[in-house]
């Protein structure tokens, strides 16, 4: 006797696989974080290259205004808008002078000094003081009176004359001559360390 066949048993359809929601969100978050990091690095690079730059004071040539170990912020924008001014404290790459070659300076070595003489000005150092166009320059920031003298000269076009505030212990224009304006990196405007001396740098 033939038994009636059992009804066909069909395999239930397999539902389409669903995305792993947790994994997708994690990857999205990682990607967003990477984008933020990349943007931050690019902004930091642009800021350091074109706007501001931190610098460290390694010597006592600017005492008492700046001390060894001071950390400064250098403004790199001002001199795109106007030329250096008398009294400005500037950071610069040293010029190609014979007096500096013996120091074997690296390309990224930088000096910091105060602008004393501008293009076209007559400068003289005598009797412990600087004279600009035959007038004594008020300098309340000096560590002590100047122990050397320089005969009268005129600062050439495109150059400036810079000196350290610690005049008698500074490797500056009185040693190696004029500084080309294009060597200037920027203007010191803020001390951010040590914290007890935090504040704007005085240029007078």
Cis omega (within 30 of 0) on the bond before 64?
Answer: yes
Task: Judge whether 190 lies within some domain.
Answer: yes
94 lies in some domain: yes
Domain containing 96: what range? 55-200
**Contact 44/163 with Cβ under 8 angstroms?**
no
User: Does residue 26 fall inside a structural domain?
Assistant: no
The CATH number of the domain holding residue 139 is: 2.10.109.10
Catalytic residue among 10, 76, 113, 140: 113
The answer to whether position 12 is within a domain reads no
Residue pair 170/113 in contact by the 8 Å Cβ criterion: yes
Assess if residue 99 is contained within a domain.
yes
Q: Note if 113 is an active site residue.
A: yes
pLDDT tens, residue by residue, 168-196: 999 999 999 999 999 999 999 999 999 99
Which one from 5, 10, 24, 61 is the annotated catalytic residue? 61
Is the Cβ–Cβ distance between 189 and 166 less than 8 Å? no
User: How does residue 4 score in pLDDT terms, banded at 50, 70 and 90?
Assistant: very low
Can you give the pLDDT at residue 32?
65
In a domain, 4, yes or no: no
Question: What's the rounded Cα separation, in Å, for the pair 67 and 194?
Answer: 10
Half-sphere exposure of 84 (CA within 13 A, CB side): 32
In sequence order, what are the residues at sequence separation of 6 or more whose Cβ sits closer than 8 angstroms to the Cβ of residue 59? Answer: 68
20 inside domain: no
Question: What pLDDT digit, counting tens, does each position of 21-34 carry?
Answer: 667 777 777 766 66
Q: What per-residue confidence (pLDDT) applies to 53? A: 87
Based on C-alpha coordinates, what's the Rg of the chain? 32
Helix (H), strand (E) at residue 53: strand 52-56
Total domain count for the chain? 1
Report in angstroms the alpha-carbon separations of 187 from 58, 66, 73, 136: 17, 14, 9, 24
Q: Are strands 159-163 and 179-180 parallel, antiparallel or unpaired?
A: antiparallel
56-106 confidence digits (pLDDT tens): 898 999 999 999 999 999 999 989 899 999 999 999 999 988 888 777 677
| pTM, full prediction | 0.75
């Amino acid at each position: 006797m033939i038994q009636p066949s059992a009804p066909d048993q069909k395999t239930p359809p397999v539902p389409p696989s669903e995305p792993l929601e947790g994994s997708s969100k994690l990857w999205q978050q990682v990607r967003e974080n990477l984008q933020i990091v990349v943007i931050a690095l690019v902004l930091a690079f642009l800021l350091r290259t074109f706007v501001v730059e931190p610098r460290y004071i390694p010597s006592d040539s600017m005492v008492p205004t700046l001390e060894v170990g001071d950390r400064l912020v250098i403004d790199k924008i001002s001199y795109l808008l106007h030329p250096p001014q008398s009294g400005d404290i500037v950071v610069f790459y040293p010029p190609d002078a014979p007096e500096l070659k013996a120091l074997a300076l690296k390309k990224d070595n930088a000096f910091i000094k105060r602008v004393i003489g501008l293009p076209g000005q007559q400068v003289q150092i005598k009797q412990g003081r600087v004279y600009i166009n035959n007038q004594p320059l008020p300098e309340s920031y000096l560590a002590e009176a100047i122990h050397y003298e320089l005969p009268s000269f005129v600062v050439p076009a495109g150059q400036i004359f810079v000196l350290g505030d610690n005049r008698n212990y500074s490797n500056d224009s009185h040693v190696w001559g004029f500084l080309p304006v294009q060597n200037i990196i920027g203007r010191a405007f803020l001390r951010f360390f040590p914290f007890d001396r935090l504040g704007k740098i005085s240029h007078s």
